[in-house]
């Protein structure tokens, strides 16, 4: 089973997670749309993917007030039917800010000054926490109706980070924001139950993605978590949904093997080790 002649939109940015999802979807035969407010990042993605003919990059935002124009110019004006949406956010919540491309992550938009957590003005705190939530809610408002109008089964898959269960020190703005995003994913799952042709699930990632070089040397693994997440998401799209479980947890190697075998039996052998 493949995703040939199906169109997927990757929402949430084109950092390590967005890139891995995009690569897996292209490998599965899909036409893939990604958007960004950064023309330079889109240009780099296009170059890194060798000007792939099935990759469409859109310079535009899905934030409130801008999402409708971005979606219309991408889908309506070109008469493209949307089949799948993959919405990711704060998956690499633990990552430190850096200067390299790979160190940048979409969750940086929810990063505040944690040293003055309780000294924040309420409006500032809520605004910082809700940046990713506003983006994803606005995207869902615009894209779910497009899925309703598609032929055959369509999916809306959330990929989130499990920041709340970690013992690692984390930014409170990102923690609150990631929990809010998980709540939105649940609301979308309930909403799409009204529709015959749309299903939704969540892949909740507790494993660290794009680990520091020192940790990779200390605990070498064969298969990157980001690539595994991409394959799982592609498998969910091929399957026409994530089943009745609602949430698929990736907290350890056993979880990864189980979910990979559930959705990716035709893509990767069981037992591949993650990095």
Which domains, and CATH codes, for the chain? Answer: 7-263 (3.40.50.720)
H/E stretch holding 182 reads helix 172-192
Instruction: Quote the pLDDT of residue 140.
Output: 98
CA distance 15 to 48: 13
pLDDT < 70 positions in the chain: 1, 92-116, 163-170, 210-216, 219-223, 266-275
User: Do residues 135 and 62 lie in contact, with contact meaning Cβ atoms separated by under 8 Å?
Assistant: yes
Both tokens assigned to 133: 């939530």
CA distance 175 to 196: 34
Helices and strands in the chain: count of H runs, count of E runs: 9, 7
Instruction: Quote the pLDDT of residue 113.
Output: 56
Instruction: Quote the pLDDT of residue 271.
Output: 38
The helix-helix angle for 172-192 and 131-148 (nearest 10°) equals 20
Instruction: Quote the pLDDT of residue 165.
Output: 54
Residue written as tokens 């997927």?
8
Could you say which DSSP state residue 252 is in? S
pTM of the model: 0.86
Instruction: Quote the pLDDT of residue 176.
Output: 85
CA distance 209 to 106: 13
CA distance 55 to 31: 6
User: Do residues 225 and 209 lie in contact, with contact meaning Cβ atoms separated by under 8 Å?
Assistant: yes
Instruction: Quote the pLDDT of residue 69.
Output: 97
Alpha helices in 37-110 (DSSP H): 39-48, 67-71
Instruction: Quote the pLDDT of residue 273.
Output: 44
Could you say which DSSP state residue 272 is in? P
CA distance 69 to 79: 15
Instruction: Quote the pLDDT of residue 171.
Output: 73
Residues 6+ apart with CB under 8 A from 37: 59, 60, 61
């Amino acid at each position: 089973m493949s995703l040939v002649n199906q169109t997927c939109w990757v929402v949430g940015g084109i950092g390590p997670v967005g890139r891995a999802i995009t690569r897996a979807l292209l490998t599965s035969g899909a036409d893939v749309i990604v958007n960004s407010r950064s023309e330079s990042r889109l240009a780099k993605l296009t170059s890194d993917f060798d000007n792939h003919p099935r990759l469409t990059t859109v310079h535009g935002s899905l934030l409130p007030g801008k999402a409708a124009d971005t979606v219309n110019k991408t889908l309506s004006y070109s008469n493209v039917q949307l089949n799948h949406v993959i919405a990711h956010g704060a998956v690499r919540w633990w990552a430190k800010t850096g200067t390299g491309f790979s160190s940048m992550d979409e969750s940086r938009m929810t990063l505040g000054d944690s040293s003055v957590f309780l000294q924040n003005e309420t409006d500032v705190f809520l605004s910082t926490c809700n940046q990713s939530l506003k983006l994803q809610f606005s995207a869902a408002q615009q894209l779910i109706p497009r899925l309703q109008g598609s032929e055959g089964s369509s999916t809306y898959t959330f990929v989130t980070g499990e920041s709340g269960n970690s013992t690692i020190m984390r930014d409170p703005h990102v923690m609150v924001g990631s929990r809010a995003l998980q709540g939105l994913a649940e609301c979308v799952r309930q909403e799409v139950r009204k529709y015959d042709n749309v299903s939704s699930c969540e892949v909740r990632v507790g494993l660290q993605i794009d680990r520091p070089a020192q940790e990779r040397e200390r605990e070498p693994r064969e298969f990157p978590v980001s690539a595994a997440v991409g394959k799982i998401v592609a498998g969910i799209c091929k399957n026409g949904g994530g089943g009745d479980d609602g949430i698929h947890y990736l907290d350890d190697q056993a979880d990864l093997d189980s979910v990979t075998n559930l959705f990716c039996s035709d893509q990767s052998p069981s037992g591949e080790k993650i990095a």
